[in-house]
Chain A
Amino acid sequence: MRPTGALSRRRLLAAGLGASVALVQARPAHASDWPVELAAAVAAFARGAPVREGRVTLEMAQLVDNGNTVPVTLSVASPMKPGDHVVALALFNERNPQRDVFSARLGPRNGRARASSRIRLFTSQKLVAIARLNDGSCWTRTVDVIVTIAACIEGET
């Protein structure tokens, strides 16, 4: 005869598993992880269009030794033809004093949607690259980076 305790434990386990799966599914895409200010900056850039993940690539080191100068490259999978091109490209950060890093206006005259720069990072944080296409759609890519030496802390020596 099976003890009822085991059965209820099994049921409990199953119920718990079900609940955790539901939790994971209930969590919407990346955007929920963004703090209010970052989400607001991204929404302003998107001009009300839904922000979807994909098409954008943000190349940078995941472990940053020196936050004073961090190379980044943004690129977008786009043919850059008059009928289908990127019109704006921007990079936002989560925990610097300001959310903006840089934004650029592009067009079919660029031939390729790609821009590089060097940026400052105050601390370990998320970076969000976002592109707006000529049809108004917005695509994004989020990268988490760990920063060991922060920018802005050091004064003049």
Chain B
Amino acid sequence: MARTLINLPALSKKGDVIEVRTLNAHPMETGYRPGADGKVLPRDLIRRFTCTYDDGASREVVFQAELFSAMAANPYLTFALLVTGPGTLTLVWEGDNGFAQTETLPLRVA
């Protein structure tokens, strides 16, 4: 499992627009780069990132991104989110070689 960093405001208010910052420590091997032996390293990318927000009333995908080889290593993504109530965010990274990682964290609302 790759290490992830997720940053959310400690406490937000309903109606706020917050910024969700995410990073996944993944090499994002492009498939175009030679290795130490001169052979091209096989592609190993995170292909998709999905954020699902469960605010108690509904559970919806609020942000989804498709990533390609032009993304830097340790893909960093930030997006905005309208706070509709206290609940949970589920972040999923999926990629080559069956890579799948899920992180769930609470969204605290005053």
Contact = CB atoms under 8 A, between A and B. Distances in A.
Interface of A: 68-70, 80, 93, 96-98, 100-121, 151-152, 154-157
Contacts of B76: 116-118
Given A105-B61, A109-B53, 9 more contacts: A69-B72, A98-B69, A101-B71, A102-B67, A103-B66, A110-B82, A114-B19, A114-B78, A154-B33
B17 A111 contact: yes
A117 B63 CA distance: 14
Given A69-B73, A97-B32, A114 B79 contact: yes
B80 A117 contact: no
Contacts of B53: 109
A68 B30 CA distance: 11
Contact of B17 (A70, A104, A112, A117): A112
B75 A117 contact: yes
B79 A93 contact: no
A133 B108 CA distance: 31
B71 A119 contact: yes
Nearest to A68: B72
B70 A119 contact: yes
Nearest to A91: B70
A156 B78 contact: no
A108 B67 CA distance: 22
B41 interface: yes
Contact of A155 (B33, B65, B71, B82): B33
A155 B35 CA distance: 5
Contact of B69 (A97, A106, A116, A154): A97
